[in-house]
Amino acid sequence: MLAIPIWVGNININEMIFKNFLLFSICFYSIGQTIKFDTLAYFEVNEKSGIVDRNGKIILKPKYVCYTTLYLGDSIIIASDIKWNHNKDLYNYYFLNRKGDIIKRLKANHISSFSNGLAMISLPVKKEHLLKGISFSIFDEGYIDRSGKMVIPLENGYSNLQGKFNSGRILKELDSKYGYIDANNVLVIPHLYEEASAFAYGTAIVGKKDLYDTNTLFGLINTNGDTLLPFRYEKISRVRDSLFIAKYYSETQIDTFQYRYTFFSGVINAHHDTLIHFEYDSIKNEYHTYWNEENYFMCNKRESGWRIVELGSSKETGCCYEEARQLRYGYAPVRKGKWGLVDSLGQEKIPYEYDEVILLSRTRAGVRKGDKWSYWKTDGTKLTDFLYDEIIRFRFGLSYARNGTKSYIYDEDLKIQLENFTETENFKLDPVQGLNTLMFYQNGKFGLKNRKGEILFPAKSDEPILFGEDW
């Protein structure tokens, strides 16, 4: 891979980008690897990360820059003691078990989190000097197993291995074309594609140039490289394992030099069966990271608005809305002048009278009137007056609400489980991090309490303490 950390004088202009990448890696979600609620989370003190469990026990004191995602049951945590040095390309990396013990040490420029037993490693080859004070480094990339053994050897400087190891395949670039190798570094799918994604659930979305070499059209392949969906789509996005929203366009010549392009969206499966007809301008897929299991989709026709369409029959069960959110739990917030709530058959549950409606759980919704929120049932029963400045979705059966400087934790029956457990100023995150674990905020720091309000972990983390999301 050609990596170019550029130095201008004593300033690394890519340093901030890389730091943001490390932060992003903490929250990275790899398609095809289900994340369950974990029992461990990172905390940070003076730019060093430690690990704490849900009972507040420190597993690892703040010593490293820990950045790999914590997957439930994953036996390896990768940490680094990165200290920024303008001329340094190698850093110490440590493989830790879930007790915080060091089981392996490696030197590398970067090691990714493990995916299905393999992690990508990057090592420097050489540094090229362009002008005085300006240089860049070239890195090789390969893959290691959990013991630190190199199982896919380092490639020479200008090749590029990309992506997670999934479905037995790794995306590989060569001369601006993409193909796939297996865990033995054997090229199993040739470099045929101008654009490509990592495999997930045995399939990958890939793109080829059209006949005129102007536009990239997308299709779907399996792990043998067989074409499952033809290369005719302007865009394909995955809804779940073998269900996809696809978009194609038709071209109409207006005169000698002008063409009109009309786009059509629909829903198809990996067998190329059409489950929602291609007659819509767009289809919502907002909750793809939450594993969309809905059999109804919110589809839009520009002239007449959003409507609810049943998967399989393409029957429109609700219409027509000026604005809409994707269906979830069988309900969707929609707007006709004002916001309300409908079910998947388009039946009105909360009237179109409010400034905002959000889903909080399968049976609860939040409704905003002016600057205040209230709790409702999804069947349209109002549970509270408009009392709250903020409410957050239910998680583990608990929801956070704020009224001025007062904070509350409610159960689904809206019984107060805990009151005024955190400072509310500048606290905009979900405090519910476990069945008996609540994150709180005090004097600019984050800590953990239980449902009784007893401190599990004092407020000393500079960053939020977030346990794995249940996607």
Q: Are 221 and 227 in contact (CB under 8 A)?
A: yes
| Number of Cα atoms under 13 Å in the Cβ half of residue 130 | 11
How many domains, the chain?
A: 1
459: in domain: no
Q: Are 194 and 205 in contact (CB under 8 A)?
A: no
Query: What end-to-end distance do the CA atoms of the chain give, in Å?
Result: 32
263: in domain: no
Amino acid at 254: I
What tens digit of pLDDT does each residue of 353-384 get? 999 999 999 999 999 999 999 999 999 999 99
Integer Cα distance of 207 and 39 in angstroms = 39
59: in domain: yes
Res. 25: pLDDT tops 70? no
440: in domain: no
Mean pLDDT of 219-248: 95
Residue of 338, 281, 271, 283 whose CA lies nearest to 310: 283
82: in domain: yes
pLDDT of residue 290: 43
Mean pLDDT of 424-449: 92
Domain that holds residue 82: 1-166
60: in domain: yes
Q: Residues with Cβ < 8 Å from 301, sequence gap 6 or more?
A: 279, 280, 281, 307, 320
66 or 462: which leads in pLDDT: 462
In the predicted model, what is the mean pLDDT of the chain? 85
Mean pLDDT of 192-209: 95
88: in domain: yes
pLDDT of residue 261: 76
Q: How confident is the model at residue 84 (pLDDT cuts 50, 70, 90)?
A: low
Integer Cα distance of 425 and 366 in angstroms = 21
pLDDT of residue 20: 34
CA distances to 12, 43, 215, 309, 422 from 249, rounded to whole Å, are 44, 48, 11, 21, 52
Res. 99: pLDDT tops 80? yes
- Helix, strand, coil fractions of the chain, as percent rounded to 5: 5, 55, 40
Integer Cα distance of 40 and 468 in angstroms = 8
pLDDT of residue 2: 37
Tell me if the bond preceding 320 is cis, omega within 30° of 0: yes
Angle, CA of 278, 280 and 281, to the nearest 5°: 125
Element (H, E) at 12: strand 11-12
pLDDT of residue 83: 67
70: in domain: yes
pLDDT of residue 159: 57
What tens digit of pLDDT does each residue of 288-343 get? 444 456 799 999 998 899 999 999 999 999 999 999 998 998 999 999 999 999 99
pLDDT of residue 193: 97
Res. 277: pLDDT tops 50? yes
Q: How confident is the model at residue 469 (pLDDT cuts 50, 70, 90)?
A: low
Integer Cα distance of 237 and 220 in angstroms = 10
